[in-house]
């Protein structure tokens, strides 16, 4: 069963221009996964100056190798340098930007005007993309940054599609607009939050956010400090700042009609399985729309697959409504999980029909799992006749990241994920 997407009265231009599908790459494995599953471009960060310090990120040597790997596969790379820089950052930033010149990424993601100036001085040939942290919400701001030399604006997440369309109509066509289409949303304005600084000393705008918006809170009346009051609708606590997750896969035509050049997926600290699943779903949706816009319909399988990642309840953010009308806060548990990865295919042995698999979570004989390849639909198999490295029979895979052989009924591609449904408490890796 398929359904027509909601476009809110927006009529896409025909033929539609192919948008860029931009994926997060928190480490080398996620970069390779994003590329294998269909990303047109990836964004990644160094060990410093990126707003995702919790990611493994890349050394300069690793960045150079990552850029070469991506370029060999016709995939662009954008390096995040979007911290709000302090005085002690300046000299090291200069060295970092200077070192990026021979590496040759396709863009720098920057929010701080001072960092912008340094980038123009030290790496003038690298295009600059203005980060969502800069909170660009109008055409005049877009034109201001364009006059400074920026080639792309990552728009503030608080804009509606009609506002994006209005901005697009007021700026030159060569200026690219990028928007988030999937992933976590921050409760602060375009991510400019100080809660983490105040409560933990970890600066969100320096990439070290502790995500206090996801914590449970109590309030105390000042004269009764021993009597906490739970602001809650259940017995587990309250999540007053816990925003829902963004999901716009049902609205590809409307996003294109609004004039976005790049569809950005959030998630540099998410798992490789998350990256694979989300990139694959949006790749299929975009390609199907571009192939036949007049007969495009949303495939429920995309939503089903996205629901199998670790996520909070999905929402369309600010694109179609305002929070005063449609609350974006999720007041119950913090995450939903419907599947867990039990292995990743390292190789396929055609003579024996065996997949060589690295374990991610324990799986036992008799269980039913799904194999998810980079392209094409997943398929189910019943786990039987597993072998260890000595080709001896085993009934389960209890050891973390152990290697084993798994019989499969058809060839499988290296990098395919093996997932088990119904895991509510086991993380997908």
- The per-residue pLDDT for range 293-335, each reduced to its tens digit, is 999 999 999 999 999 998 888 888 889 876 544 555 444 545 6
Domain ranges (residues) in the chain: 20-189+244-315, 339-421
Relative to beta strand 417-421, strand 368-372 is: antiparallel
Residue 212 DSSP symbol: G
Distance CA 258, CA 236 (A): 41
pTM: 0.83
pLDDT at 217: 62
pLDDT at 57: 81
CB 403 within 8 A of CB 357: yes
Residue pLDDT, tens place only, 258-293: 999 999 999 888 999 999 999 999 999 999 999 999
Closest CA to 31 of 200, 228, 276: 276
Q: What is the CATH number of domain 20-189+244-315?
A: 3.20.20.70
Closest CA to 123 of 148, 106, 150, 101: 101
CB 182 within 8 A of CB 248: yes
Q: What is the CATH number of domain 339-421?
A: 2.40.30.10
Between CA 318 and CA 204, with CA 147 as vertex, the angle to 5 degrees is 45
CB 112 within 8 A of CB 85: yes
Residues in the chain with pLDDT values less than 70: 1-16, 50-56, 187-221, 227-242, 322-337, 423-429
CB 129 within 8 A of CB 152: yes
Distance CA 364, CA 382 (A): 10
pLDDT at 190: 62
Between CA 409 and CA 125, with CA 34 as vertex, the angle to 5 degrees is 155
């Amino acid at each position: 069963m398929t359904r027509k997407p909601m476009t809110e009265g927006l009529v896409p231009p025909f033929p539609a221009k192919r948008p860029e599908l931009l994926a997060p790459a928190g480490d080398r494995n996620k970069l390779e996964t994003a590329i294998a599953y269909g990303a047109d471009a990836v964004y990644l960060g160094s060990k410093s100056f990126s707003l995702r310090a919790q990611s493994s990120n890349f050394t300069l040597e690793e960045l150079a190798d990552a850029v070469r790997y991506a370029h060999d596969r016709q995939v662009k790379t954008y390096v995040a340098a979007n911290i709000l820089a302090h005085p002690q950052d300046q000299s090291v930033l200069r060295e970092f930007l200077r070192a990026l010149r021979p590496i040759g990424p396709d863009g720098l993601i920057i929010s701080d005007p001072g960092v912008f100036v340094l980038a123009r001085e030290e790496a003038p040939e690298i295009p600059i993309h203005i980060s969502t942290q800069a909170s660009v919400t109008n055409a005049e701001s877009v034109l201001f940054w364009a006059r400074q030399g920026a080639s792309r604006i990552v728009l503030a997440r608080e804009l509606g599609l009609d506002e994006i369309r209005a901005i697009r109509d007021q700026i030159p066509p060569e200026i690219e607009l990028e928007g988030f289409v999937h992933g976590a949303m921050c409760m602060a304005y375009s991510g400019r939050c100080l809660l983490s600084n105040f409560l933990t000393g970890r600066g969100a705008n320096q990439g070290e956010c502790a995500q206090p918006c996801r914590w449970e809170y109590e309030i105390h009346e000042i004269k009764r400090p021993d009597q906490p009051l739970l602001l809650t609708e259940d017995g587990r606590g309250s999540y007053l700042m816990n925003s829902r997750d963004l999901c716009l896969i049902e609205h590809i035509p409307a996003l294109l009609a609004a004039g976005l050049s790049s569809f950005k997926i959030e998630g540099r600290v998410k798992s490789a399985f998350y990256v694979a699943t989300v990139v694959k779903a949006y790749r299929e949706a975009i390609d199907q729309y571009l192939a036949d816009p007049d007969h495009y319909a949303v495939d429920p399988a995309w939503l089903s697959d996205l629901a199998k990642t670790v996520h909070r309840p999905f929402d369309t953010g600010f694109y179609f409504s305002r929070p005063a009308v449609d609350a974006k806060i999720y007041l119950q548990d913090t995450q939903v999980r419907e599947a867990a990865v039990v292995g990743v295919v390292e190789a396929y042995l055609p003579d024996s029909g065996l997949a060589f698999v690295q374990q991610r979570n324990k799986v036992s004989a008799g269980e039913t799992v799904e194999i998810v390849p980079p392209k094409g639909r997943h398929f189910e198999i019943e786990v039987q006749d597993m072998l260890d490295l000595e080709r001896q029979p085993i009934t389960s895979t209890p050891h973390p990241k152990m290697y084993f052989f798994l019989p499969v009924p058809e060839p499988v591609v290296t990098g395919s994920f093996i997932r088990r449904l119904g895991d509510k408490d086991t993380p997908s890796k």
